Each structure stands twice: as structure tokens, then as C-alpha cells.
Amino acid sequence: MEWYRFVIFGKVQGVFYRKSVSQALMKKQFKGYIRNLSDGTVEVVAEIFDEDFDTFMNILKEGSLLSSVEDVKYEIIDDAEFNTDGFEIKYS
């Protein structure tokens, strides 16, 4: 199990991307958060088991009906200071 930080590029703000992705990730019982960034991208921080990584990536790439994901960059992070029992949308 690792904590990851993802940045999603494309048409991902103002198209229900966060809501669709967060609902799908909640159903799969992932832990973490999703939020818009000021540069038009979306950030996702999540705890993922190795065997669930492909499922997680597919959810990020699928997005919402109105979104268009062009790219997903990610990194493993060691300093995740986020405590949650589920998945949430952050408004910051």
C-alpha cells in the first residue's frame, strides 16, 4: 500500500469531473481526496494497494461524461498528512 499524488490534465474543471471520480472511488472504498488546482488541473491524493492501481487509473481516465482527460501524472508520496475513512472532495 502506497500514498500517491496524481495530477490530471485536460478538460477536467467545470464538467463534474471531481464529483464523478469521487463517487466512483468511494464505491470502490479508496481513501483520499480530490481537488481543483489553480492551473486548471485536478489533484488526487489517495492510498492505493498495488493490485488496485489499474482500477484507480481507469477511474481517473474515465472521468465524467463531459470531461476529457489528456494525461495523468503521478508520484508516490511519503508525507501524506491526510487522515480519512473514505474519499472526499476538497474545496480549497
C-alpha to C-alpha distances, 9 to 3, 16, 49, 74, nearest whole angstrom: 20, 14, 23, 11
User: Helix, strand, coil: what percent of the chain each, to 5?
Assistant: 25, 40, 35
Q: How far apart are CA 50 and CA 52, in angstroms?
A: 5
Active-site positions? 18, 36
